[in-house]
Amino acid sequence: MSTPARTCDDGQVASGAVDVLVVGAGFAGMYAVLQARRHGFSVLGLEAASGVGGVWYWNRYPGARCDVESIDYSYSFDEDLQRDWTWSERYATQPEILRYAEHVADRYDLRRDYRFDRRVTAAAFDGTDANWTVTTETGECHRARWLVFATGSLSAPNRPDVPGLDDFGGLLLQTSRWPHTEVDLTGRRVGVIGTGSSGVQLIPRVAEVAARLTVFQRTANYTVPVLNRQFAPHEWNEIQRAYPERRRRSWASLAGTPHVAYHKQYAEIDEAERLAAFEARWREGGVLFGKTFDGQAVDPEINEAARRFAERKVREIVRDPQTAEDLLPSGHPVGAKRICTDSGYLETFNRGNVELVNLRRDPMVRITERGVETARASHDLDVLVLATGFDAMTGALTRIDVRGPRGDVLAHTWAHGPLTHLGLGVPGFPNLFVLTGPGSPAGLSNLPLAAEQQVNWLMELLANCRQRGIRTVEARADAAQAWTRRVDEAARATLFPRADSWYLGANVSGKPRVFMPYIGGFKPYADRCDDDRDGGYAGWHVGDVTTADAEDLAGPRSEPPAPVRGGPRTAT
Ligand code: N01
């Protein structure tokens, strides 16, 4: 490819070049802006939304809450912040998490470095001055030495390819773009397409008020009651006392939370104890059921035992035998798609105003002006909700026209699946870094901690470059190929590739089937990043402007910088 890097006309450039430009104001982006500032860099944040919060800004559908416990799903970098914020519930709702994000933005005065309502549409690297030029939908251009994409793994909505979607005459909603004003569904005929985490949370809330709710299910999912509860005021003293140890365990864990599997191995115990262990996890509530035993995501026998247990729960709860049958997940191992967490989801199907349409038996034919037509029936609707998920991990980035100095286009480089070194850098794109994206453990970990780990590592690298007068850093092609192979091999060692999940891109038609997140664990990943640094950033070309062709990517072009010690906190 030989497309030249594009530059803005002078009249379009909104400001002089900054050191660091961060795209996105979710948890990763906000922390990147803060740490860039603390490291003494000039920084600019661009955000498509009108405020901070990322996924928690957009996903405002009724019932939205996080499936990671609130006391874990928060930043750990500042003990004063941790002490000053009080979560009201075990699993926080979307409004409370958004309030937390806004509180963080206020506390560190982050908005002063952000421009909102600026959707980034293009970025091009100018090899002559080693700067990125970043263009927004509003036509603004900005220049920066280092470009950090914190655009989120679950942010680009997946609009299903269903014939006639635009013909629908009623109100069409999407969970990931829910209106900011209240939507009154009282007494209306509502249809919901999609039964992943979003649909499973939304459906019970809609059923409470709708005249009639029709759920269009393509794949039944494993769902576990979340068993949410309010925190009592006196609990906070105990939570605060235990926080340091809880965080220490989380930083040393595989998923960024302090939880561990059952204390005995599945093979060592009898059937009664196995069932008791599953029951205990079920009663604990939430996604941990998917990790009851060590090896549950790897060993088909343990996984099958978990499946049988979950099946019994569905049959106990759902009264109509055919509906229960339709709600039984089949064809994918427990946990290989993100387990859903619910508040009364299965019970919803015992209501008289709720109908389940199993699209495997009664396929969707088209959307019409009046509603949804399946092979066997026409369903008239006032409101149709798409709970159809995301073009996950890569979608937010490949929708941006990102061009490197040798004409590489990111969407083309990733056409057969994402190629990254440590999920952080992409060969062909110097000075560009991706946070919580493909090749990182973020999609399978507690995101705020995953973001902190990557940002800490990145800022140490950038500070190091500044100290050494280094203008460019680019992931080496061989390192990226090796890391991408490792991401793939780690997934293949588990049962995860057996499910048509968003981890694999299988939910988006035409997307290559490649397992995208690193499943080897949060702490092992952090250690791998630290090894890379301690090896003198061995996976990167560290030097001046990269003008070489692909063959030249085989070795470092200048002395790599020595690691800077005593920087921000890391996972160890
Ligand atoms: O999206 P999904 P989501 N016709 O992709 C169906 C996180 N999250 O927004 O499975 C009919 O899981 C699709 O069917 P199938 C969490 O990590 C967390 O619900 O592809 N159906 C599926 O049922 C989660 O995993 C929280 O066969 C179609 C559904 O739409 C991730 O976000 C809350 C279809 C999409 O499910 C994504 O969850 C919400 C079509 N053409 C989200 N296209 C919590 O923290 C798609 N579907 C609790």
CA of 305 to the centre of ligand 1 (A): 25
What is the rounded distance in angstroms from the CA atom of residue 292 to the CA atom of residue 309?
12
Q: Is the CB of 431 under 6 A from ligand 1?
A: no
Residues 6+ apart with CB under 8 A from 370: 169, 378, 380, 381
CA of 506 to the centre of ligand 1 (A): 11
Provide the pLDDT confidence category of residue 544 given band limits of 50, 70 and 90.
low
What pLDDT is recorded for position 16?
78
Q: What is the pLDDT of residues 150-207, one digit of tens each?
A: 999 999 999 998 999 999 999 999 999 999 999 999 999 999 999 999 999 999 999 9
Domain range summary for the chain, segments of one domain joined by + = 10-156+392-475+518-546, 189-386
CATH of domain 10-156+392-475+518-546: 3.50.50.60
Please identify which residue in the block is written with the tokens 């680019």.
474
Which of 435, 397, 449 shows the shortest CA–CA distance to 33?
Answer: 435
Atom of ligand 1 nearest to the CA of 359: 11
Provide the pLDDT confidence category of residue 459 given band limits of 50, 70 and 90.
very high
Contact 356, 318 (CB under 8 A): no
Provide the pLDDT confidence category of residue 233 given band limits of 50, 70 and 90.
confident
Burial tier of 18 (Cβ tally within 10 Å: 0-12, 13-18, 19+): buried
CA of 450 to the centre of ligand 1 (A): 22
Total residue count of the chain as it appears in this document? 572
Q: pLDDT exceeding 90 applies to what percent of the chain?
A: 90
Task: Write the CA distances from 556 to 130, 472, 473, 479, 490, integer angstroms.
Answer: 17, 12, 10, 11, 27
Contact 207, 353 (CB under 8 A): yes
Residues 6+ apart with CB under 8 A from 283: 227
Atom of ligand 1 nearest to the CA of 197: 19
Average pLDDT over residues 276-284: 96
What is the rounded distance in angstroms from the CA atom of residue 28 to the CA atom of residue 55?
11
Residue to probe by mutation, ligand 1, list 221, 367, 390, 507, most atoms within 8 Å of CB: 507
What pLDDT is recorded for position 11?
54
Other CB atoms within 10 A of residue 342 CB: 24
3-class DSSP assignment, residue 190: strand
CA of 217 to the centre of ligand 1 (A): 11
User: pTM here?
Assistant: 0.93
Atom of ligand 1 nearest to the CA of 66: 45
**In sequence order, what E strands does 137-240 have?**
141-149, 171-174, 189-193, 212-217, 223-225
Q: Which amino acid is at 323?
A: T
Average pLDDT over residues 310-318: 97
Query: Angle at CA 476, nearest 5°, toward 474 and 482?
Result: 140
Q: What is the CA radius of gyration of the chain?
A: 24
Which H/E stretch holds residue 31?
Answer: helix 27-38
CA of 502 to the centre of ligand 1 (A): 8
Smallest CA separation from ligand 1 atom 1, residue: 389
Q: Is the CB of 67 under 6 A from ligand 1?
A: yes
What pLDDT is recorded for position 13?
60
CA 117 from centroid of its chain's CA atoms? 21
3-class DSSP assignment, residue 340: strand
Q: What is the pLDDT of residues 101-156, one digit of tens each?
A: 999 999 999 999 999 999 999 999 998 999 999 999 999 999 999 999 999 999 99
Which H/E stretch holds residue 453?
Answer: helix 447-468
CA of 186 to the centre of ligand 1 (A): 24
Residue 508 DSSP symbol:
S
Q: Is the CB of 507 under 6 A from ligand 1?
A: yes
Smallest CA separation from ligand 1 atom 37, residue: 389
Tokens describing residue 448: 């705020």
